[in-house]
Structure 1
Amino acid sequence: MARFTFRLPDIGEGIAEAEIVAWHVKVGDRIEEDQQVADMMTDKATVEMESPVSGVVVELAGEVGDQVAIGAALMVVETEEAVAEEAPAAAAPVAEAVEEQVEAETPGVPEAIEAPAPLPLAGGAGGGPVQTDPTPEETSPPPTPPASGRGEEGRHVLASPAVRARAKDLGVDLSEVKHDGQHIRHADLDAYLRYGSGQGYHAPHASRAREDETVKVIGMRRRIAENMAAAKRAIPHFTYVDEIDVTALEAMRADLNANRGSRPKLTMLPFLIVAICRTLPDFPMLNARYDDEGGVVTRFGRVHMGMATQTDAGLTVPVIRDAQDMNVWQLASEIGRLAEAARTGKIKSEELQGGTITITSLGPLGGIATTPVINRPEVAIIGPNKIVERPVFAGDDIVRAKLMNLSISCDHRVVDGWDAASYVQALRKLLETPVLLFAD
């Protein structure tokens, strides 16, 4: 018999440590080579760790919520024969750092401007997930009942830590849950419970008190808490809100979608991003990052648009690189790709970094106005709100109009109220006369 120390491998450039968010084994368990043993969270993603050897677990590095340094012992395994301690442990594939969001047609992202932790976890932070479409018209259908109750025999089941924990609490074997994608999501689990378990769905009883519970703040939720607290402590926020008539823009969007062919469906988000990119050159103080320690503001010539995206694990902020060079169709494709990658845990670390300004929205769930939290170290975050129909005066007539409030939160250390108000007025001009979005 020999003991093998499994050390935490290098799981990302610049990563010095990772947090234990789930153990899938305990001391005394017999494990096999390549068996998943733990989920480790970095600043950007959750990584599934797999054992490089077979044997019996004799020691674990710590409890859920503890930090483990790269190269430090994660687990000690007693093996049948000696294993070269020097043999590098392969980094496990990135798992579901962020899983799916209860689908609100964000495509991939959002049909809502859905879009992070991450970047410091934006802030969309304050405003919520960016839903790509603030309109209430498009909602996803309920999950379809699973056609079969059993998964493929012997196949490794992929699911986020949150889904695994929920299934464990419910006593559900995930291998029996039917799913269409590569990963089992909450919607798949809901469908199994409703249709596939043989128990059927039962409406809840009358309202009753729940038991008190204490929940440890770990993983993505802890990152969000730390980032939001740091943003509010360091940045003197102010928020400006104005009303925009998007009647013509919504009509243009409907026409383009009716003739889109094989191109992706357009939500409101691509139009908003085009308008933001066209107006930012005249307001360079908004497309910037503030270095607190150095006392330096860097104003960017290119627009790397952060997109606050709600996922099963929490809020993340994928970044659309060089958004100023894309048209609405290209933006729609990139929004969908990034949102899907974020929800399935396949988002790359570099796709969560380098944003210069962020957009965030609650989509159809949005209210009259939001006061989003800035995605530090950026200096501005834009939050479109819900589109509503209201009667408005047009001369002596009263007509029906689609109206949307637009919020912008700014860092008052580098952005003045006049700048924010002037910028929103420039946005308003483009959005209320959408043909200008396509003019040279």
Structure 2
Amino acid sequence: MADYIFRLPDIGEGIAEAEIVNWHVAVGDMIGEDQPLVDMMTDKATVEIESPVAGRIVRLAGAVGDQVSIGSELVVIEVEGDTQEVAAEPVATEQPVVCDAPALPPNASTNAEAANAPEASQPAPQSAPPGDSGARAKVLAAPSVRARARDLGVDLSQVKTADGRVRHGDLDSFLLYHGAQGYRAPSAGAIRPDETVKVAGLRRRIAEKMAASKRHIPHFTYVEEVDVTALEAMRVELNEGRGDRPRLTVLPFLIAAICDTLPDHPMLNARYDDEAGVVTRFGEVHMGIATQTDAGLMVPVVRSAQALNLWQLATEIARLAEVARTGKARSEELSGSTLTITSLGPLGGIATTPVINRPEVAIIGPNKIVERPMFVPDGLGGERIEKRKLMNISISCDHRVVDGWDAASFTQALKTLLEAPVRLFAR
């Protein structure tokens, strides 16, 4: 028996680390090859990682919410066989590995031999073209470099390096040089045929509703930056001790904060009947959750959201998302919202200009969380630079019944609450 160290592979260009969001295995489990191990979340997507070998789980890298660097130990698996045989090439590390490349012609000398050889030595070797079926030599390259070269259709033996190992920079230089000579990498995918798609069913209703909203409502959008460092720390801590309760995302915190802020800003939790010229301001918050489904955008509704705690909100959000995506939502679960929140999660961008869910008068769009340096008080009357987690919040409003001052005042009050999230537990 031997231990196989499986390291976190390169799961995205430019990604340095990923967050553990869900383990599919536990220490002591027997697993098969290609069995799902863990879901890892980057700022771009959530990726399911599968096991390259069969065996027994010996050690896991961390708990849900922990960050794991690319190339770091992710899982240790006890397998049958010799240690050296198993661990000779851990999956997805950046250690040099060999890759097939055209061989040198018979009797060809190496560069070092050529430097010391007499003038009558053999001619300089000529590299075989890509796809040559002759004998193959070996070129040193990391797995990510080898995969990138394969996708680009580049023969690594043609890439010149200082020490014989091809790196991303060497590949970049090759592409720049040969690009000037007319080199063009092949397309990654086949050309799709032209197609005509009829806008029908739910897609047509969405189109009609969005067009009516933009046609009738004079939108304006206000965007504010919020420091969510403390909120994210609280979220991680609560998730670590959640037991059998659902995992908390940022969304329940946002809804709870919105509900606590609305009593002082009732003009936003409202619906406008423009034909009757009447605005109805609601006491309860029936929060619409814009949800993407295979059929199109749906807005299931969390009823009386102001009466639910964080865990109850998380449970209801998950339930509604599931019934919406599976087409099992009842009509009463898809109507009657008084205010809508729309979030694209890690795809949320820096700022958005969401379209109001008519006849509501406002819609709130949280954007993705990013890390940036900020000046913060140092406790001594001065400031220091610190890495903080920041998120922009966009709010679009109906300018017929909501003024810019109203939107700004509400958003600033919401910002204050989100930046001191402990206040949410006083509700």
Sequence identity percentage? 73
Q: Find the aligned partners of 1:228 and 1:137 in 2 and give their Cα distance.
A: 27
Asked if the contact 1:410–1:420 (Cα under 8 Å) also holds between the matched residues in 2, the reply is yes
Q: Find the aligned partners of 2:249 and 2:193 in 1 and give their Cα distance.
A: 41
- Normalising by structure 2, what TM-score? 0.56
Asked if the contact 1:291–1:377 (Cα under 8 Å) also holds between the matched residues in 2, the reply is yes
Q: Does 1:411 align with 2:398?
A: yes
Q: Find the aligned partners of 1:365 and 1:216 in 2 and give their Cα distance.
A: 27
Q: Find the aligned partners of 2:42 and 2:367 in 1 and give their Cα distance.
A: 9
Q: Name which of structure 1's ranges 393-402 and 268-277 shifts more when overlaid on structure 2.
A: 393-402
Match of 1:245 in 2: 227
- How far apart are 1:136 and its partner, in Å? 3.1
Asked if the contact 1:135–1:387 (Cα under 8 Å) also holds between the matched residues in 2, the reply is no
Q: Find the aligned partners of 1:262 and 1:236 in 2 and give their Cα distance.
A: 45
SS of corresponding position for 2:202: helix
Q: Find the aligned partners of 1:363 and 1:398 in 2 and give their Cα distance.
A: 27
Structure of larger gyration radius: 2
Asked if the contact 1:106–1:339 (Cα under 8 Å) also holds between the matched residues in 2, the reply is no
Counterparts of residues 289-328 of structure 1 (less than 5 Å): 289-328=271-310
- How far apart are 1:366 and its partner, in Å? 1.4
Q: Find the aligned partners of 2:241 and 2:355 in 1 and give their Cα distance.
A: 37
Q: Does 1:230 align with 2:212?
A: yes
Q: Find the aligned partners of 1:287 and 1:428 in 2 and give their Cα distance.
A: 18
Q: Find the aligned partners of 1:138 and 1:261 in 2 and give their Cα distance.
A: 25
Counterpart AA for 2:393: L
Match of 2:349 in 1: 367
Q: Find the aligned partners of 1:277 and 1:246 in 2 and give their Cα distance.
A: 18
Q: Find the aligned partners of 2:199 and 2:351 in 1 and give their Cα distance.
A: 29
Q: Does 1:211 align with 2:193?
A: yes
Q: Does 1:420 align with 2:407?
A: yes
Counterpart AA for 2:403: D
Cα deviations by residue, 1:111-152 (Å, 9 ceiling, x for unpaired): xxxxxxxxxxxxxxxxxxxxxxx98387252799xxxxxxxx
Counterpart AA for 1:415: V
Match of 2:420 in 1: 433
Asked if the contact 1:386–1:405 (Cα under 8 Å) also holds between the matched residues in 2, the reply is yes
**Structure 2 vs 1, CA of residues 378 and 140 (structure 1 numbering), >3 Å: closer, same or farther?**
farther
* Among 380, 383, 388, the residue aligned to 2:370: 388
Q: Does 1:141 align with 2:123?
A: no
Q: Does 1:263 align with 2:245?
A: yes
Structure 1 consecutive aligned stretches of length 4 or more whose deviation exceeds 4 Å: 202-205
Structure with more contact order per residue of length (Cα contacts < 8 Å, sep ≥ 6): 1
Cα deviations by residue, 1:164-210 (Å, 9 ceiling, x for unpaired): xxxxxxxxxxxxxxxxxxxxxxxxxxxxxxxxxxxxxx989645543
Counterparts of residues 102-181 of structure 1 (less than 5 Å): 136=43, 139-141=46-48
Match of 2:110 in 1: none
- Normalising by structure 1, what TM-score? 0.55
Counterpart AA for 1:392: M
Q: Find the aligned partners of 2:307 and 2:356 in 1 and give their Cα distance.
A: 24
Is there any run of 5+ residues in structure 1 with no aligned partner, and where?
1-104, 108-133, 145-201
Asked if the contact 2:44–2:347 (Cα under 8 Å) also holds between the matched residues in 1, the reply is no
Counterpart AA for 2:389: K
* Among 360, 367, 385, the residue aligned to 1:378: 360
Asked if the contact 2:345–2:367 (Cα under 8 Å) also holds between the matched residues in 1, the reply is yes
SS of corresponding position for 2:46: coil
Match of 1:273 in 2: 255
Match of 1:399 in 2: 386
Asked if the contact 1:239–1:410 (Cα under 8 Å) also holds between the matched residues in 2, the reply is yes
Asked if the contact 1:389–1:401 (Cα under 8 Å) also holds between the matched residues in 2, the reply is yes
SS of corresponding position for 1:308: strand
* Among 333, 357, 369, the residue aligned to 2:315: 333
Cα deviations by residue, 1:317-367 (Å, 9 ceiling, x for unpaired): 000000000000000000011111111111111000100000001110111
Q: Find the aligned partners of 1:220 and 1:140 in 2 and give their Cα distance.
A: 29
Asked if the contact 1:381–1:410 (Cα under 8 Å) also holds between the matched residues in 2, the reply is yes
Residue correspondences, number: 253
SS of corresponding position for 2:258: helix
**Structure 2 vs 1, CA of residues 408 and 336 (structure 1 numbering), >3 Å: closer, same or farther?**
same
More strand by share: 2
CA RMSD of aligned residues (A): 2.5
